[in-house]
Amino acid sequence: MLLNKQEVDWRIGELGGWKIEEGKLKKIFKFKDFISAIEFVNAVAGLAEKENHHPDILITYNKVRITLWTHDVGGLSEKDFNLASKIEKGLIDL
């Protein structure tokens, strides 16, 4: 279900460092090196598979950009914010 602007504004406030750009939820994560970035991407891939919700991922050496939006609804949904939250929590274990 597509979230309205008020819901998006409320949900983004719960996340650290995520931004809405071009109607999509985005964040750039920085790591000490390429291997650390790849380990993070692998962890995100595991979460995405469990949630059956797959982000766009761009890796540039030690930086990883995650972009979330729900294709089915043509915008942001609870799925996007739930996965973003789980990605944030997963960082604790890396």
Which of 39-48, 73-82, 84-93 is least confident? 84-93
The 10s digit of each residue's pLDDT in 11-67 is 999 998 999 999 999 999 999 999 999 999 999 999 999 999 999 999 999 999 999
Q: How many CB atoms lie within 10 A of CB 92?
A: 6
Q: Report CA torsion sign: 42, 47, 51, 55.
A: negative
Q: Whose CA is closest to 47, among 90, 93, 4?
A: 90
Predicted local distance difference test score (pLDDT) of residue 91: 73
Residue 94 has pLDDT above 60, yes or no: no
Coil, strand or helix: which one is 60?
Answer: strand
Q: Which domains does the chain have, with CATH numbers?
A: 5-91 (3.30.1360.20)
Task: Based on DSSP, count helices (H) and strands (E) in the chain, helices before strands.
Answer: 3, 4
